Structure 1
Amino acid sequence: MATSPKKGNLNAQAFDTLRRDIISCTLKPGTTITEAWLTEHYALGKAAIRHALARLTQQGLTLNQGRLGYTVAPITIKSIRDSYQARRLIEPELCRLAAGRLDGDKLRALRDCSSASYDRNSAAEMIAFSQANHRFHCLIAHAAGNDRLARLIEELSDDHMRIAYVSMVYGQSSEYWNDDHAGIVAALESGCGDEAARLMTEHLASGEEAIMKAILNLPELLETSLSSS
């Protein structure tokens, strides 16, 4: 049976709302949440909340704990390092494959993502900026033409959105991404795959260093969810 437009809209609203609050750490990593609490707190229907939790769990942002409810996926030092290791192995090669294969529309989209900025006093702008960063990496991955690797990058980059948000709150400048991204786009447009791969490798390495520095200065997250394992 097809989902009605109204039901579909409620499902999307619930998913977008919970995802936003997980990314901004309004729902802190490691926090236990239940369908009943979320339904009451967000004034959304139970069915929509259940649908949102299923999608969030599929994306790795929540963990299903059975009768105990759900846990907002922890941010751990190991998970950050593992994720960046996977990205360093995959994304440079995707850049090499994508070089020279992006049409005018995709290049314009990449430049739009690269020019995004934010005000650190605006949570909405920081979330929008982290979404632009997410889209930048996913556009390149899809342009490479390997759908399986593109889906993997989407998953890894999606979880990075909340890590990136935290690093912005604690001092990381938008210029860091903008400058790196502009160089990658130029290399992709000129068809220089090796250069694009090299720049992506450097971008991910410096990103990991900056994010680890920011994360380790978060005592409230260290107390609840950050660990070495």
Structure 2
Amino acid sequence: MNTDPDLTASLREPATREAIASAIRDDVLDGNLRPGDRLPEPMLAERFGVSRVPVREALSQLQSEGFVNLERYKGATVSGASRADALEVMQVRRGLEVFGARLAAERLGGDFADDLRLVTESGTRAERSKQHHQVPPLVMRFHSLVAAASGNQELSRTLEHTLRRIAWVFDRNVENRADRCWRDHTAIAGAILDGSPVQAGYLMDEHVKKDEDLVRALL
């Protein structure tokens, strides 16, 4: 009998923190886990075949994204506000990202110009070669770089936290979004590097609106 090597490897290798967080996040978004449901660490550790350490790390990540509540002595439960607040967080993110893109364009990318070029090239290569698993972290890297290129450290810190809360958006429907996503990123980076604040802000606004539409479809 032939065995799929990828499946064999996945069965042999323990789940990572990111994989555990992604699975729980999907269960929440798909309605398999409801607000108030308990998430006992021993049960999750058994489910994913790992120790409690990566489970605890995954739950901490999900807490920062708003999907999980962690209480001392009570453990983890699914947040009642994680889905309802998602769109509001996305709207806050849009204002921050548009402002950041404009500031970054005024500085022509500053010290992060080369990094912006490299990440857009990496994303385009990943999309063309259909390496879709590489796309979400590259998306996060791109948006973090735009914030850093703004030169406004407070904006960068605030946006970094906001992006962590909505990182799950970039994991959904990756195959259908990758090509469009990197066309957007390439255009935004081009406007920033050309020193065109109005265009950079407009393109970022249009780009983030698409993610808001995706959130609406998930709610």
TM bracket (short chain): 0.7 to 0.9
Tell me the distance in 2 between the aligned counterparts of 1:164 and 1:148. 24
Tell me the distance in 2 between the aligned counterparts of 1:203 and 1:63. 30
Q: Is the 8 A contact 1:113 1:136 kept in 2?
A: no
| 1:51-79 CA distance string (max 9 Å, x none) | 44334424434221555431344652x42
Higher relative contact order (CA 8 A, sep 6+): 1
| 1:107-157 CA distance string (max 9 Å, x none) | 21233235532899xxxx555322222221111111212233223222222
- CA drift of 1:200 comes to 0.5
Structure 2 residue 70 is matched with structure 1 residue 64 = yes
Q: Specify the alignment match of 1:158 in structure 2.
A: 164
- Is the partner of 1:32 in helix, strand or coil? coil
Q: Is the 8 A contact 1:115 1:178 kept in 2?
A: no
Aligned alpha-carbon RMSD (Å):
3.0
Tell me the distance in 2 between the aligned counterparts of 1:154 and 1:132. 14
Q: Is the 8 A contact 2:113 2:149 kept in 1?
A: no
- CA drift of 1:90 comes to 0.9
Corresponding residue to 1:81 among 84, 87, 91:
87
**Amino-acid identity (%):** 24
Q: Specify the alignment match of 2:20 in structure 1.
A: 18
Tell me the distance in 2 between the aligned counterparts of 1:68 and 1:149. 35
State the TM-score, normalized to the length of structure 1: 0.70
Tell me the distance in 2 between the aligned counterparts of 1:165 and 1:126. 10
Question: Per the alignment, do residues 107 and 119 of structure 1 end up closer, same or farther by CA in structure 2, a change over 3 Å counting?
Answer: closer
Tell me the distance in 1 between the aligned counterparts of 2:114 and 2:129. 29
- CA drift of 1:199 comes to 0.7
Q: Specify the alignment match of 2:126 in structure 1.
A: 116
**What are the equivalent positions in structure 2 for 1:40-59 lying under 5 Å apart?**
40-59=46-65
Letter in 2 for 1:39: A
State the TM-score, normalized to the length of structure 2: 0.72
**What are the equivalent positions in structure 2 for 1:78-157 lying under 5 Å apart?**
78-99=84-105, 100=108, 101=110, 102-117=112-127, 126-157=132-163
Query: Tell me, which stretches of 5 or more residues in structure 2 are unaligned?
Result: 1-14
Tell me the distance in 2 between the aligned counterparts of 1:151 and 1:29. 31
Alignment length (residue pairs): 195
Q: Specify the alignment match of 2:10 in structure 1.
A: none
Tell me the distance in 2 between the aligned counterparts of 1:118 and 1:60. 33
Letter in 1 for 2:59: L
- Is the partner of 1:70 in helix, strand or coil? strand
Letter in 2 for 1:203: H
Question: Per the alignment, do residues 14 and 61 of structure 1 end up closer, same or farther by CA in structure 2, a change over 3 Å counting?
Answer: farther
Question: Per the alignment, do residues 52 and 177 of structure 1 end up closer, same or farther by CA in structure 2, a change over 3 Å counting?
Answer: closer
Tell me the distance in 1 between the aligned counterparts of 2:215 and 2:61. 26
Tell me the distance in 2 between the aligned counterparts of 1:205 and 1:53. 29
| 1:10-43 CA distance string (max 9 Å, x none) | xxx75333233245x1565545311111222233
Q: Specify the alignment match of 1:209 in structure 2.
A: 213
Letter in 2 for 1:46: R
Letter in 2 for 1:164: F
